[in-house]
Amino acid sequence: MKIIDRILQSGYFSQQPPVLIDIGASGEINAKWKAIAPYCICLAYDADDREFHVTEQVNKTYKKLLTFNRIVTAAPVGQAGFYLTASPFCSSLLQPDKEKLAPWIFSPLFAVERVTNLPAITLEESLQKVNIGYIDWFKTDTQGTDLRLFTSLPAHLQSGILAAEFEPGIIDAYNGEDKLYSVMQEMHTRMFWLSSMDIKGVQRLNARYARQFGSFLGKRAIRKTPGWAEVTYLRQPEGSSERQLLLLYIFALIEQQYGFALEITDHALTQYHEEQLFAECRKEVLKKIGAEKIKTPLVILKRQLHKLFSSIND
């Protein structure tokens, strides 16, 4: 989108490019950032037991991509016990709750194969090592410790975050994990609002039953139960600087929150009425909303035609 390039090429970001944090990327950094990546500094974290190093990867995607081969903890501990499970995507700093997981079909994925001690680092320590003093978009998926990592940040770093993504659990999977209700309760007390929630699910079927009946029956006959969620929060615009408002506007576009993007531009124009860029932002989002209004009936019409032809073929 041209307006995004126009904003990020402005003087507001020449000395202070957007900083994106991705904890628990599992080799795939946040796909939402594709449109802004060339202008951004991205910090990605990957647990490793080798000697500590920060790698600045040469790539065509980000302005700068820094990877840390460390497990991230909320407090400075030097080393932390890490539970390696049958599925690497279920490995965690927290011990899987075998008893609570038993009723769920995916419980074998959480079987602990071994526990290892990994060198650890806090977010604040990692930022200090690369001389970065702010975060714009915070994303974490750490199998149970998302909220504590966010709240462990010093107040000046928390207050600058404009977008925050978490993937908390709903069912009991780990001992002492940060759950969805805790994330929602905490973020409700701050200047954030919930932009999106994508509920993920799993069948409540003991793996022992699944082996008896076959996986086909388990997946086809039993509905999925909400098990965890991907949630994204955006900051309210009040009290934000010009740079923050422009970046928050971009984040709203990425989230397809065009109404909120309009709120941001109107708020910005009352505070910084001499900045022409905000007027351009307002014009662009109005065009976007108009385009979406035109597009929506066409989508509905296509669906109706598809149903009509399907019924004729039947």
Alpha-carbon distances of 249 from 19, 27, 90, 257, rounded to whole Å: 15, 28, 34, 9
- The CATH number given to whatever domain includes residue 149 is 3.40.50
Mean pLDDT across the chain = 88
Please list the residues that pair with 169 across neighbouring strands: 179, 228
Quick check: 234 and 138 in contact, CB under 8 A? Answer: no
Instruction: Indicate if the pLDDT at residue 292 is higher than 90.
Output: no
Confidence of residue 61 (pLDDT cuts 50, 70, 90): confident
Q: Is residue 101 part of a domain?
A: no
d(C-alpha 314, C-alpha 225), whole Å: 32
| Residue 217 identity (one-letter amino acid) | L
pLDDT the model gives residue 108: 94
CB crowding 117-146: b at 16 or more within 10 Å, else e: ebbbbbbeebbeeeebeebbbbbbbbbbbb
Q: Is residue 264 part of a domain?
A: no
Residue with tokens 């990605």: 44
Q: Is residue 155 part of a domain?
A: yes
Quick check: 53 and 122 in contact, CB under 8 A? Answer: no
Confidence of residue 192 (pLDDT cuts 50, 70, 90): very high
Phi, psi of 143 (to 5 degrees): 55, 60
Count of structural domains within the chain: 1
- What is the longest distance spanned by two Cα atoms in the chain? 70
CB within 8 A of 124, min separation 6: which ones?
A: 152, 153, 154, 157
Determine what percent of the chain is predicted with pLDDT higher than 90: 71
Q: Is residue 231 part of a domain?
A: yes
pLDDT the model gives residue 290: 85
Q: Is residue 112 part of a domain?
A: no
Instruction: Determine the average pLDDT of the residues in 26-32.
Output: 74
Instruction: Indicate if the pLDDT at residue 161 is higher than 80.
Output: yes
For residue range 193-250, what is the model confidence (pLDDT) as tens digits?
A: 999 999 999 999 887 887 777 655 555 678 899 999 999 999 999 999 999 999 999 9
Range of the structural domain that residue 231 is part of = 2-79+118-235
d(C-alpha 288, C-alpha 292), whole Å: 6
For residue range 68-80, what is the model confidence (pLDDT) as tens digits?
A: 888 999 999 989 9
Instruction: Indicate if the pLDDT at residue 153 is higher than 60.
Output: yes
Q: Is residue 267 part of a domain?
A: no
CB within 8 A of 218, min separation 6: which ones?
A: 105, 203, 205, 209, 210
Q: Is residue 161 part of a domain?
A: yes
Q: Is residue 141 part of a domain?
A: yes
Report strand pairing: 41-45 vs 64-68: parallel
Instruction: Indicate if the pLDDT at residue 29 is higher than 80.
Output: no
Instruction: Determine the average pLDDT of the residues in 165-179.
Output: 97
Higher pLDDT, residue 47 or 96: 96
pTM above 0.85, yes or no: yes
Determine what percent of the chain is predicted with pLDDT higher than 70: 85
Instruction: Indicate if the pLDDT at residue 165 is higher than 90.
Output: yes
